[in-house]
Structure 1
């Protein structure tokens, strides 16, 4: 055995520049949703008016619901005028805070309810999601982020990288989408088979099915009747829905071929701060899957189509009937462990039958509002736990409604109604919340949680991620068996923890996962070994290492239009002590998002380390030009110059 030669990776940043090809079916295999309607008229009719069908539509008078009769919206010095051109085209004329006015024909339309957003082409091929949207419920224009003052040079401005439709949204609003971003020019040449979520977005390309259907009765049906997805397999169906209904990081360039296992196409976001509350409840827009994985429903084999009709995506029944198809005295033979009992009754709900509080979802699927007026429900189906609120910092369903009351009041009321303590049993949220506050102090509880196979995999994986901050080789050794856990989310997180293992043990622990059946795990193992330059890797494992790095390279090269990707690349370069490459990556971060202060601070430190204070001063000047009120950057300027830096107006010109 000999050390893995990190010199071969010294050119990592250049190595990642060439974009990899997206994986998927041949475009000719897609036929479009119109090819399905003749034989599947009822399903097509249900789908036609659904949020899926209307996820992305053309900019026609029939599709556009907003008022374009010379209406205006003004906020923070920005004015948007909505009108029609001489040719009848819908136009948005935007006057920015800097006084610059630009006229944009509406390119296309996103969504139908409760709001509708308009896509504007800011340069050939690049679509941006405009932040002023139409309220389709009550009428009127509103801004998605009214509390953010976003000038045109802010990374979060509607023209910035976080609002680029091609990069952030189109994959889940189109069928057969390929992003086709050129990192050298920054241009997009995106394509799709069909805008909107068509039949083939979920079922897969239809040609094989139609070819069989044309001779049906004379040949044996092919597997899944020629489609890529077996919707008779509950887990496969859930993972197909999760390709869009999840917060995740994509490995491929566009839509994966339907039927691709989720963890071969995406890296699922864990229950991290900013995304989820301390106990795992939704906080940011996380799109269902990460919540559903926490639920007892998922653990017991419930799938998406048990509650939602597949083609219009509406609930299978009205009100509590969705829940009582299983949660009733009759129960459901598919779920034999479910206790038959009366749930839809004031004896259980403690609210009048027709009241908001009498609805199952009010207590067990708390909702949060996103994008101004879009209420979405938490799919972890949890029992309200106001007794945990003060210990986890998370919200509770009781005081969501009873806003004039406290969590202590709600906990006391539940204790009175359930004196046996059945509603106050231990909950994983306590360990996760404690781990956020103090991963070292909570290490024992987190380790117990990570090793508890009765807990949801995403919860255990989050515990492993938090344990990375415990700096405990003993904990890494204790939890090394989780590298063989059945859940790929747990295996991938367990790899991260092993960075705390002794270097002489790390290669032996991680090398077997280079040949894991799941792409996310293979990539995590390859990166884990790459970032351990002192690790000794047997010669026999080197081909698997190279293959894992190639998959990681492909994933990274598909996301070079994301500031976050360049942050990751900078971190890799720093670990490999490739400081020029790290500086280049941090430069790309602030080019895409000038408000990424952490990247600016690393640029200052790198400049100072390589060229002293004289080299660092112009970097701080540029950083303050983009972030004039940031106190840490002002402190850096004072340290380097002895002068105050209250704003760009007092900064000297760059050296």
Structure 2
């Protein structure tokens, strides 16, 4: 993991805001698997609309339950998961031996590893490891002057502490190497925090050898959740797993203290290969090299490239693997543990298993990726690579990178021509000449800068598509270089060089763009992506997750197929649709997944089935459920220091019929981070269910004091105030939400309904018209405009909106009936005149 990242100040997916926390360990709403969207149907007095929403949410379940039970998922390819390894790992016999022991035999690998980034991922701060200037150097940041100095052989920083006052802190550890190095401070309660003033370790000629702040353009004060002393800069959760080997976080929720330990302070051999004691024992016994992995004492062997060759097809000029790729790419899953956007659900990591067995993987979603799958936030390489043609063809990480040095196997673009024809380097392909001409990497792996100075390449390996910049608003490699030119200019050049047919493996961009912009064809486009087995599973899972907002018969069929999909990410996305049902209703559908070979799927199934009456289950089924529930609770308690996990525990307790425990968990979440607004929204909703609306309103008001620009909080407050018969104040809060997040159609729509409910009919229509200009095919807006215009007697406008609604939803028979009725009324009115 890399704590050196930009992190968002708004980690509020449950309230409707986009979660952009860029730590892979803070995946979506929780470190464990759960839906991205809040499923709260907060009524504001429009009974018919609320009923439609509830019916839509229940549609998926009704369609699924009416069918047969989903068959148990087949275990994944044993060659990929090494199914025997968990028995070894759980036996208690394996132990870490340390990299020095490994290198005593594997000396060549050790020579490659020693100077690598992995070997320097973390270290004790001393004269040999600290790169920054601690010779009484100072750095000014929005009125705070930090001073870096040495005393008695130790390194110190004087900077603003938890209360904003200047304090002196000892630097205990270095973090990273190139292009920057961060420094870690240890607190008495066991917390280790990452300073957000970092050292630029690049050469001075490249602008380096200086102190800089990771948030240079905004003031991050001591009361900000992004301040270096706060939760989002906490090493124990955010960073430790991926910068050290054999980490145990050891957080005690009773005392709120950490006792985090590691087996090796940096990323050593066993971080990837697992505990080495059995292998050392085998070596000492002089065992046979021809034995299988278990006989060798290995948890897994990364031998997917062994005996594999790539050859060029003479006609297509495309490389082909000599053998089909494995179902689960052990190497990719291993690297994805840290080089992916994900959150941990278990420290019992087994090298080579599906990443979803120990982590929750973030999918393509708004704020993380661009609609066509290009990286937007810090998503690292795993998700990008798994949507690529390279991954589909069987390429693994070590085809390009040496696994021990982490460097490219060949300089620059020569790594590409290991497999691809050299003709791709010629001007006939690149249409650029000279020493500064772009190479394969420039065009097919566009770079973005994170953490101010850290350049990272997109690993989705895509064909430049400036035409998509015109239609989807995404970036493209052409205008990245030619920044003074337009996307239209670049698209015209591409068409001139390569013809009018647009090529590219990633063809799903229009579907996600439609979903994120509220286009009327979003559901159909997403369903087509989810149903297409030729589409990468990572993308299919992402599309299926997006479909939670679009319940239909087609969506239900996609969910049914997804529940038994070979890829755990797709199974998880399918489960994402079922939270609105009770455990008893879901049992026939979800129970088979309690025995899923992947832990992430099992615990999501356990969450959904929580609360199933014990008297309805056999003894064997009850044991299966309780076992999976224990895994679920363990995953949350592993991350009990995080508000996301406390919130998910609260939702689990609600399903279990334990509202008091749910209330306590939500309150704990807010104690851990008062800025975590989903806990405030959901706690207020729990109070609503208990008839305690006044307490819910108080919770929301307090949260707004801390996060005044969170649209989701204002929206929830508005709904609560309307329920409390404070109509004017409630509608004003709904209006504030719509003002803060105008691209969130639901907020604008509900605000307009609220305006109409207090007699401000013209204002309501005006708000909807503004929203319609940005979302011309949105069904909610058009439906409201039909109703409002009809109520005001403006039948011609109502008919116009209804016809536009029919164009957006041609299969909707109800709309056709409305058009027929309105047409008749308009004609009657004209005849009467």
Q: CA deviation at 1:460?
A: 0.3
Match of 2:42 in 1: none
1:426-437 correspondence to structure 2 within 5 Å: 427-437=507-517
The counterpart of 1:589, out of the listed 647, 656, 669, is: 669
Structure 2 distance, partners of 1:364, 1:207, is: 42
User: Is the Cα–Cα contact under 8 Å of residues 25 and 257 in structure 1 kept in the other structure?
Assistant: no
Match of 2:50 in 1: none
Q: After superposition, give the CA deviation of every residue in 1:384-414 in whole Å (9 maximum; x if it has no partner).
A: 1111123323211111111111112111111
User: Is the Cα–Cα contact under 8 Å of residues 471 and 500 in structure 1 kept in the other structure?
Assistant: no
1:599-610 correspondence to structure 2 within 5 Å: 599-604=679-684, 606=686
Report the more deviating stretch, 364-373 or 109-118: 364-373
Is the aligned partner of 1:42 residue 2:122?
no
SS in 2 for 1:239: helix
SS in 2 for 1:194: coil
The counterpart of 1:233, out of the listed 304, 307, 321, is: 304
Is the aligned partner of 1:399 residue 2:479?
yes
The counterpart of 1:302, out of the listed 395, 398, 412, is: 395
Is the aligned partner of 1:122 residue 2:187?
yes
Structure 2 distance, partners of 1:281, 1:488, is: 22
User: Is the Cα–Cα contact under 8 Å of residues 480 and 498 in structure 1 kept in the other structure?
Assistant: no
Against the structure 1 CA distance between its residues 438 and 536, is the aligned structure 2 distance closer, same or farther, given a 3 Å change threshold?
A: farther
Structure 1 distance, partners of 2:392, 2:451, is: 31
Q: CA deviation at 1:200?
A: 1.3
Q: CA deviation at 1:277?
A: 1.2
SS in 1 for 2:425: coil
The counterpart of 1:159, out of the listed 215, 224, 229, is: 229
The count of corresponding residues between Structure 1 and Structure 2 is 608
TM-score by length of 2: 0.68
The counterpart of 1:580, out of the listed 641, 644, 660, is: 660
Match of 1:348 in 2: 429
Q: CA deviation at 1:447?
A: 1.3
1:415-494 correspondence to structure 2 within 5 Å: 415-419=495-499, 421-423=501-503, 427-438=507-518, 441-494=521-574
User: Is the Cα–Cα contact under 8 Å of residues 476 and 500 in structure 1 kept in the other structure?
Assistant: no
Q: CA deviation at 1:597?
A: 3.3
Structure 2 distance, partners of 1:155, 1:81, is: 23
Is the aligned partner of 1:175 residue 2:245?
yes
Against the structure 1 CA distance between its residues 200 and 424, is the aligned structure 2 distance closer, same or farther, given a 3 Å change threshold?
A: closer
Q: Which has the higher contact order (CA 8 A, sep 6+)?
A: 2
Is the aligned partner of 1:559 residue 2:625?
no
SS in 1 for 2:187: strand
Q: CA deviation at 1:221?
A: 4.8
SS in 2 for 1:146: coil
Structure 2 distance, partners of 1:440, 1:497, is: 20
SS in 2 for 1:595: coil
Against the structure 1 CA distance between its residues 399 and 219, is the aligned structure 2 distance closer, same or farther, given a 3 Å change threshold?
A: closer
1:230-629 correspondence to structure 2 within 5 Å: 230-233=301-304, 235-252=329-346, 254=347, 256-328=349-421, 342-352=423-433, 354-355=435-436, 357-419=437-499, 421-423=501-503, 427-438=507-518, 441-498=521-578, 506-530=586-610, 541-574=621-654, 578-604=658-684, 606=686, 615=695, 619=699, 622-627=702-707
Against the structure 1 CA distance between its residues 120 and 480, is the aligned structure 2 distance closer, same or farther, given a 3 Å change threshold?
A: same
Against the structure 1 CA distance between its residues 531 and 367, is the aligned structure 2 distance closer, same or farther, given a 3 Å change threshold?
A: farther
Q: CA deviation at 1:375?
A: 0.8
Q: CA deviation at 1:97?
A: 9.1
User: Is the Cα–Cα contact under 8 Å of residues 527 and 554 in structure 2 kept in the other structure?
Assistant: no
Q: Which structure has more helix as a fraction of its residues?
A: 2
Structure 2 distance, partners of 1:113, 1:549, is: 43
User: Is the Cα–Cα contact under 8 Å of residues 155 and 592 in structure 1 kept in the other structure?
Assistant: no
User: Is the Cα–Cα contact under 8 Å of residues 506 and 535 in structure 1 kept in the other structure?
Assistant: no
Against the structure 1 CA distance between its residues 199 and 407, is the aligned structure 2 distance closer, same or farther, given a 3 Å change threshold?
A: same
Q: CA deviation at 1:525?
A: 2.0
Structure 1 distance, partners of 2:509, 2:407, is: 31
The counterpart of 2:120, out of the listed 47, 54, 68, is: 54
Against the structure 1 CA distance between its residues 146 and 587, is the aligned structure 2 distance closer, same or farther, given a 3 Å change threshold?
A: farther
Q: After superposition, give the CA deviation of every residue in 1:235-293 in whole Å (9 maximum; x if it has no partner).
A: 112211111111112111x4624344322111211111121111111111112111110
Q: CA deviation at 1:581?
A: 3.3
Report the more deviating stretch, 435-444 or 515-524: 435-444
Q: After superposition, give the CA deviation of every residue in 1:485-519 in whole Å (9 maximum; x if it has no partner).
A: 22121122122235589999743222222222221
Q: List alignment gaps of at least 5 residues for structure 1.
A: 1-22, 330-341, 646-655
Match of 1:81 in 2: 147
Against the structure 1 CA distance between its residues 451 and 503, is the aligned structure 2 distance closer, same or farther, given a 3 Å change threshold?
A: farther
Structure 2 distance, partners of 1:573, 1:129, is: 34
Structure 2 distance, partners of 1:531, 1:42, is: 55
Q: List alignment gaps of at least 5 residues for structure 2.
A: 1-88, 203-207, 306-328, 734-833
SS in 2 for 1:119: strand
Structure 2 distance, partners of 1:617, 1:219, is: 68
Structure 2 distance, partners of 1:496, 1:372, is: 35
Q: Which has the larger radius of gyration?
A: 2
Structure 1 distance, partners of 2:654, 2:181, is: 43
SS in 2 for 1:141: strand
Match of 1:335 in 2: none
Structure 2 distance, partners of 1:97, 1:550, is: 36
User: Is the Cα–Cα contact under 8 Å of residues 387 and 506 in structure 2 kept in the other structure?
Assistant: no
Against the structure 1 CA distance between its residues 346 and 531, is the aligned structure 2 distance closer, same or farther, given a 3 Å change threshold?
A: farther
Q: CA deviation at 1:205?
A: 2.0
User: Is the Cα–Cα contact under 8 Å of residues 436 and 466 in structure 1 kept in the other structure?
Assistant: no
Structure 1 distance, partners of 2:537, 2:382, is: 12
SS in 2 for 1:106: strand
Structure 2 distance, partners of 1:327, 1:49, is: 30
Report the more deviating stretch, 53-62 or 92-101: 92-101
SS in 2 for 1:175: coil
Against the structure 1 CA distance between its residues 563 and 35, is the aligned structure 2 distance closer, same or farther, given a 3 Å change threshold?
A: same
The counterpart of 2:263, out of the listed 161, 177, 193, is: 193
Structure 2 distance, partners of 1:299, 1:164, is: 36
Q: After superposition, give the CA deviation of every residue in 1:599-649 in whole Å (9 maximum; x if it has no partner).
A: 33444555577576764575456435534666887895996999999xxxx
